[in-house]
Amino acid sequence: MGDANSVLTAAEARHLLKRTGFGAPPKDVAKIVLRGDTRGEAADRLLKFKPKKFQPGGKGKDPSLQDSHDKWIVFMLKTKSPLQEKLVLFWHDHFATSNVKEPILKLAEIDPLYVEVVLPVAIYGQIKNGQRAQVFPEKPVGGVYAASVKVVDRVIDGASGTFGVRLQLPNPGNHIPADIKCRVKFQ
């Protein structure tokens, strides 16, 4: 391989350009080789880009989704900083965007509240879906709340001798916070 001070060969320059962009045009490979760029210098040049704002329809215009897509593809292929566009392409799937003005992701929903209970294997088979239970949250919440069994885990943890049960507890107004300890009494 080599270190940051090794001068790139044509094959290494081609590999670098393919990995950091959308291909390796021969003129770009030749430019790196003729300059005698080291690995470090080539990396620095690739990372030295100024962010460009992509506006598919120009200022104030609202192009169609397909039109925006097509213009972005052309923009990516013609840019002088393909690494920037390759990073945008990579991350756009992780941080999805939308032109819909409604929430696209709900991180947590606590109405209904799901209560996860761990029970001893000795009572396995006694708890059934739909069964009623009373939930007693710790202070500062306190009180007694009605819930029902939604899931009885069919996998037993042999190491601890336990199994899991999920209760559904109505929580209008979100008065009971998530992740609070509680006791449960099955009816």
> At 143, is the pLDDT very low, low, confident or very high (cuts 50, 70, 90)?
very high
Q: Give residue 57's pLDDT.
A: 65
User: Tokens 């919440």 — which residue?
Assistant: 141
Percent of the chain at pLDDT > 90 equals 51
**Average pLDDT of the residues in 83-102:** 71
The pair of three-digit structure tokens given for residue 140, joined into one six-digit string: 């500062």
H or E element: which one contains 117? strand 113-120
Give the pLDDT of residue 108.
73
What is the CB neighbour count within 10 angstroms for residue 92? Answer: 11
Helix, strand, or coil (residue 88): helix
| pLDDT over threshold 80, residue 89 | no
CATH architecture designation of domain 113-186: Beta Barrel (2.40)
Residue of 164, 135, 140, 136 whose CA lies nearest to 150? 164
Q: How confident is the model at residue 137, as a pLDDT? A: 94
- Mean pLDDT, the chain, rounded, equals 86
pLDDT tens readout for residues 12-21 = 999 999 998 8
Q: In the predicted model, is pLDDT for residue 101 greater than 80?
A: no
Model pLDDT for residues 43-87, shown as the tens digit of each residue: 898 888 777 777 766 665 666 777 777 887 888 778 888 888 888
Asked if residue 1 has pLDDT above 60, the reply is no
**What is the DSSP-derived secondary structure letter of residue 177?**
P
Amino acid at 174: N
> Any idea where the domains of the chain sit in the sequence?
10-92, 113-186
Of 124, 143, 128, residue with least CA distance to 183: 143
Q: Which residue has the tokens 């107004």?
A: 173
pLDDT band at 98 (very low <50, low <70, confident <90, very high): low
